[in-house]
């Protein structure tokens, strides 16, 4: 980079479109994801801010069918458990929702936080150790936006048992699961969130900032 870039009005408008069209995708086409696009998105994710420059994110690509099936089984168990926790009408509405694209998405990424990393030398974590995991979330969000810019969709599957997934993927003991992502080309394109479109929860209107 030879100079400080300028981000003009046109760029800001396009960036606003990117943020607005970032969706939690559950309905995927099965077309393969180009490797160069996936690598580009991961490279941008690794430019994300992190506490003390610790860069604690660890991306694991889940390709083995047996491991994918075990993750899907964990989802099924947790999803059923969640459904029975709702009262009658809400339980019916819950069961109608499609909450994961685990079967269709061509790429599965498990994203972990390495809580034993020496990088960053502990800076900024003594009083708020959770900042390590928050740093991983920033990388996930950067990846999400980068994927959208490539025409890809990302779905964050949280209806899982973290301990089960961690065991299935056989990662180091100090790694903690933060996200399980499905990645692929969306089967549908919508500006509104699926949960809004299917009547689960409307968007809430709130002021961007409080004054004190």
| Residue-wise pLDDT tens digits, 90-134 | 999 999 999 999 999 999 999 999 999 999 999 999 999 999 999
Q: Please, what are the domains in the chain?
A: 28-197 (3.40.109.10)
A 10 A CB-CB count for 202 gives 10
User: Looking up tokens 């499609």, which residue turns up?
Assistant: 98
Confidence (pTM) = 0.94
| Tokens linked to 52 | 């003390």
Give the span between the Cα atoms of 174 and 177, in whole angstroms.
10
The closest alpha carbon to 57, from 45, 68, 69, belongs to 45
The dihedrals phi and psi of 103, each to the nearest 5 degrees, come to -75, -30
| Tokens linked to 164 | 């089960």
Q: Going residue by residue through the chain, which has 212 residues, state the pLDDT in tens, using 9 for 90 and above.
A: 579 999 999 999 999 999 999 999 999 999 999 999 999 999 999 999 999 999 999 999 999 999 999 999 999 999 999 999 999 999 999 999 999 999 999 999 999 999 999 999 999 999 999 999 999 999 999 999 999 999 999 999 999 999 999 999 999 999 999 999 999 999 999 989 999 999 999 988 877 788 88
Give the span between the Cα atoms of 58 and 5, in whole angstroms.
29
């Amino acid at each position: 980079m030879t100079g400080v870039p300028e981000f003009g009005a046109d760029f800001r408008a396009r960036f606003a479109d990117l943020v607005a069209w970032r969706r939690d995708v559950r309905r995927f086409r099965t077309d393969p994801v180009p490797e160069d696009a996936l690598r580009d998105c991961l490279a941008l994710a690794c430019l994300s801010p992190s506490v003390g420059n610790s860069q604690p994110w660890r991306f694991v690509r889940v390709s083995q069918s047996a491991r994918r099936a075990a993750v899907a089984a964990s989802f099924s168990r947790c999803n059923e458990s969640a459904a029975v926790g709702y009262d009658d009408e809400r339980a019916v509405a819950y069961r109608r929702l499609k909450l994961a694209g685990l079967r269709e998405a061509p790429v599965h990424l498990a994203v972990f936080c390495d809580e034993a990393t020496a990088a960053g030398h502990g800076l900024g974590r003594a009083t708020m150790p959770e900042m390590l995991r928050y740093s991983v979330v920033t990388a996930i969000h950067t990846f999400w936006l980068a994927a959208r810019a490539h025409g890809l969709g990302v779905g964050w599957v949280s209806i899982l048992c973290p301990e089960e997934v961690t065991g299935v993927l056989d990662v180091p003991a100090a790694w903690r699961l933060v996200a399980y992502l499905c990645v692929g080309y969306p089967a549908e394109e919508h500006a509104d969130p699926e949960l809004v479109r299917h009547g689960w929860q409307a968007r809430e209107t709130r002021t961007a900032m409080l004054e004190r």
